[in-house]
Amino acid sequence: MDKLIDIKNVRHAYQTQDGRLPVLDGLDISVPEGGFVAVVGPSGCGKSTLTKLIAGLMKPDEGEVWLHGKRVTSPRSTVGMAFQNPVMLEWRTILKNVMLPLEIVASKMSRREQEERARYLLALVGLEGFEDKRPSELSGGMRQRASLCRALVHQPDVLILDEPFGALDAFTREDLWQTMHQVKAKEPFTCVLITHDLRESIFLADQVVVLSQRPARTQYVLDVPDTGPRDLDHLYTPEAAEMLNILRHQIEVAQGRAPAQPEADEVPEPPPGSTAQGMV
């Protein structure tokens, strides 16, 4: 399958008052068209930095980022992004907030088509009837749904989600996970999700990449078996428990709280299709 996102041997450091801070150290990640990769790793290891490099908001010191066969060297309008705290413009209605990217990317759609597309997406995420509300009139979960519509409205090649559900309560979060599956079925996208929630990662993604401690490298890759449509019950199966155990262990390794080579009986066998890469 074609690689839609190809991150090749990316190294990046920030200049700080205390000198250079190496953040990414030879990172390789590729995502096929329509793929959904979740990136997990210790706090501060460089996950958000990775999203900025994919979106072209920053250039890596070394290595290359490719999107759809083109090297990323500047901000790309073909990327949609949603963050933990969606910034919505209070003086615009929800509908007009969702339409905003179409104004910024100078869409070829007519005004009426733009509005129809925004209304279609809002209905898809369950916000029909809220189009004329202001952002402050919506709950956090509803704002996050609107933010997802705004990220998708211009049909981006890539959707980048940086902890979009992190600030929501558990029930709302699980509701949104299911919405994500419903949206993807109707509006296929290629996605990179940054998350601290391992359950979220295996529920949403088809591959989970564990990054090492900063400066981050790819420490482990878990392929989530495709068992057809997922519902929340999938998270309570023995297979899910096994995957979560593996990921939890890998995070502990990344944090330096567990040895890289566990005793054979400490960690269950990876499920079929999973691959370990360069354990630290």
Kindly tell me which of 45 and 102 has the beta carbon lying closer to ligand ATP: 45
Q: What is the DSSP string of 147-162?
A: HHHHHHTT--SEEEEE
Segment holding 194, helix H or strand E: strand 190-194
Report, in Å, the least distance between residue 170 CB and ligand ATP.
20
Strand partners, 159: 80, 191
Task: Provide the terminal-to-terminal Cα distance of the chain, rounded to the nearest Å.
Answer: 29
Which range binds ligand ATP by CB under 6 A, 4-12, 28-36, 43-51, 75-83? 43-51
The yes or no reply on residue 43 touching ligand ATP (CB under 6 A) is: yes
CA distance 40 to 268: 20
Report, in Å, the least distance between residue 58 CB and ligand ATP.
8
Report, in Å, the least distance between residue 1 CB and ligand ATP.
28
Kindly tell me which of 47 and 145 has the beta carbon lying closer to ligand ATP: 47
Tell me how far CA of residue 73 lies from CA of 5, 46, 53, 77, 216, in angstroms.
Answer: 14, 19, 9, 12, 21
The yes or no reply on residue 156 touching ligand ATP (CB under 6 A) is: no
Which range binds ligand ATP by CB under 6 A, 15-23, 140-148, 167-175, 226-234? 15-23
Selected binder of ligand ATP within 44, 188, 259, 278 (CB under 6 A): 44
Burial annotation 136-146 (CB, 10 A radius, 16+ → b, else e): eebeebbbbbb
The yes or no reply on residue 23 touching ligand ATP (CB under 6 A) is: yes
Sheet bearing 70-71, strands edge to edge: 19-32, 3-16, 62-67, 70-71
Which range binds ligand ATP by CB under 6 A, 38-46, 70-78, 152-160, 167-175? 38-46
Kindly tell me which of 24 and 67 has the beta carbon lying closer to ligand ATP: 24
Q: How many CA atoms lie within 13 A of 150 on its CB side?
A: 29
- If we measure between CA atoms, which residue out of 224, 173, 164, 215 comes closest to residue 194? 164
Which range binds ligand ATP by CB under 6 A, 39-47, 60-68, 98-106, 124-132? 39-47
Residues contributing to the site for ligand ATP (CB under 6 A)? 14, 16, 21, 23, 43-49, 214
